[in-house]
Chain A
Amino acid sequence: MAGILISLVLLTFMAVTAFYVLRLRHLFSVVMLTGVFSLLSAALFTNLDAVDVAFTEAAVGGGISTVLMLGTLALTRRREKVPETLSIGPLIIALVTGAALVYGTLDMPRFGDPNAPALKHVVPEYIEGTANDVSMPNIVTAVLASYRGYDTLGETAVIFTAGIGVLLLLVWRREEDEEDEDGEKEDRA
């Protein structure tokens, strides 16, 4: 019960943080609040027994992603332009989608249900198998690297590709391109 209460409190904190992310115009504060949001979610993951995930989220969300956002701010600007009108369209989309999703959750198994369908399919096999075939204490590592090795290979390839993409966009430019761009700027001026 205490565990559930803690997660509810953390979730409420996160909702407040997200609301302020929406409201604030100063991008520096927005980025810092995103870091707070990530740390809160890391705390929530720990509370929900997902220690490996919490670990990753704290290092990625609280650390690297915040640093990258700050780096981008340093390269661009730190204030958001004031929007001219209140955006009704997006609000309606968000409200309708949200209502549909909340309606959908009414059929979900209750929070912490030990008989949830998600627990019944392959998970018992994985837990048994980790003990007998892989003989590793950490089930998450065993599933990640052994049972779902193909997935992980794919994810690693995605990270590799994204990294190459960033390098292509920001570093490895041919000299002709730079000359072209200078030419364009002069044209426009």
Chain B
Amino acid sequence: MIQDILAHYNYWIIMVLMMIGIYIVASRGNLIKKIVGLNIFQTSVFMLYITMGKVEGGTAPILTGKPEVFSNPLPHVLILTAIVVGVATTALGLALVVRIREAYDTIEEDEVRDQDNATVAEEMSRAAR
């Protein structure tokens, strides 16, 4: 029983982390908090891949000339590049937040929506006149 739990505990915690990330993205209106949530989600996906590549008694995939068991190097390659791409895209998202802040003077989603609605209503009434 404990063996079974230990065998899947890592996956479960990663799922919990993923769901915390998704919950932050879906429930919080603050745009920076949303990006932090996305980051948590992203990191838990990375961990899911890396835990899948772990082999019991294996070592880091670097050849030493001796016969050894290696952990799966393929997820390492995929995730290594994904991390750097992730920070680049995060920076792009943050840049959008900065521009939104300059255009609307707020980084709360609902306030941005209110301002947009107000602008649309104003334009509609102007068109009606």
A binds B: yes
* Contact, CB under 8 Å: A18 / B20: yes
Main secondary structure of the interface of A (DSSP, over half): helix
Chain B contacts for A155, CB-based, 8 A: 81-82, 84-85
What's the Cα separation between A172 and B3 when bound, in Å? 58
Chain B contacts for A89, CB-based, 8 A: 26
Chain B contacts for A18, CB-based, 8 A: 16-17, 20-21, 40
Chain A contacts for B103, CB-based, 8 A: 181
* Contact, CB under 8 Å: B98 / A30: no
Contacts across chains A and B counted by CB atoms under 8 Å: 276
Main secondary structure of the interface of B (DSSP, over half): helix
* Contact, CB under 8 Å: A41 / B46: yes
Within 8 A of B (CB), among A132-167: 136-140, 143-144, 148, 151-152, 155, 158-159, 162-163, 165-166
Interface size on A, residues (CB 8 A): 92
* Contact, CB under 8 Å: B50 / A53: yes
Pairs A–B under 8 Å by Cβ, sample size 11: A37-B43, A45-B47, A48-B54, A60-B84, A81-B108, A102-B11, A114-B57, A136-B63, A148-B77, A162-B85, A162-B91
A residues near B (Cβ < 8 Å) are: 4, 7-8, 11-12, 14-15, 18-19, 21-22, 27, 30-31, 34, 37-38, 41, 44-45, 48-53, 56-57, 60-61, 64-65, 68-69, 71-73, 75-77, 80-81, 83, 87, 89-91, 93-95, 97-98, 101-102, 105-106, 108-114, 116, 118-119, 122-123, 126-127, 130-131, 136-140, 143-144, 148, 151-152, 155, 158-159, 162-163, 165-166, 169-170, 181
